[in-house]
Amino acid sequence: MTRPPLPPFTHESAIQKVRGAEDGWNSRDPERVALAYTEDSLWRNRSEFLQGRQAIIAFLTRKWQREHEYRLVKQLWAHDGNRIAVRFAYEWHDGAGRWYRSYGNENWEFAANGLMARRIASINDLAITAEERLFFWPQGPRPKDHMSLEEMGL
């Protein structure tokens, strides 16, 4: 199985890979998202370490049961060979209706077939009011004409 674009990444193919990942995560479908990773993919997400697609599916299932109305924007930071670095922000609310904007950086390493073999994520959560929200598109992929993180001042 291959998942284009394949490494080594150009600037354009890295942007394509980032947008594909963003669209996948905005689906909030753990099984769909997990298909972008190798069977034995290694993750560090905040302080949690996991390995393999089944662990990724379980993690994402828990995540999206807790993080309601999740909307994510990713942006390419850098790329080299089979590696991509991104920065991102996402908004969500908890079961009590408290809103958060989570900011972070991810480092990705890809196998030759274009599947992600390693994901290292550092994330911080900021409590926000409903009035401070910036991400209002309907659930699903971010509209193509929606502002980037830089355009929103993030």
Contact 92, 152 (CB under 8 A): no
pTM of the predicted model as reported, rounded to 2 decimal places: 0.96
Report the pLDDT value the prediction gives residue 118, as an integer from 0 to 100.
98
- Any idea what the Cα angle at residue 100 is, between residues 130 and 138, rounded to 5°? 65
| Residue 153: count of CB within 10 angstroms of its CB | 7
Instruction: Answer whether residue 94 is part of any domain.
Output: yes
Contact 130, 99 (CB under 8 A): yes
Instruction: Answer whether residue 141 is part of any domain.
Output: no
Instruction: Answer whether residue 4 is part of any domain.
Output: no
Instruction: Answer whether residue 98 is part of any domain.
Output: yes
Q: What residues make up the domain containing 34?
A: 11-132
Report the pLDDT value the prediction gives residue 25, as an integer from 0 to 100.
98
Instruction: Answer whether residue 119 is part of any domain.
Output: yes
How many distinct structural domains can be found in the chain?
Answer: 1
pLDDT single digits (tens) 115-146: 999 999 999 999 999 999 999 999 999 999 99
Pairwise CA distance, residues 109 & 114, whole Å: 9
pLDDT single digits (tens) 2-40: 999 999 999 999 999 999 999 999 999 999 999 999 999
pLDDT single digits (tens) 64-101: 999 999 999 999 999 999 999 999 999 999 999 999 99
**What CATH number has the domain bearing residue 59?**
3.10.450.50
What SS3 state is found at 116? Answer: strand
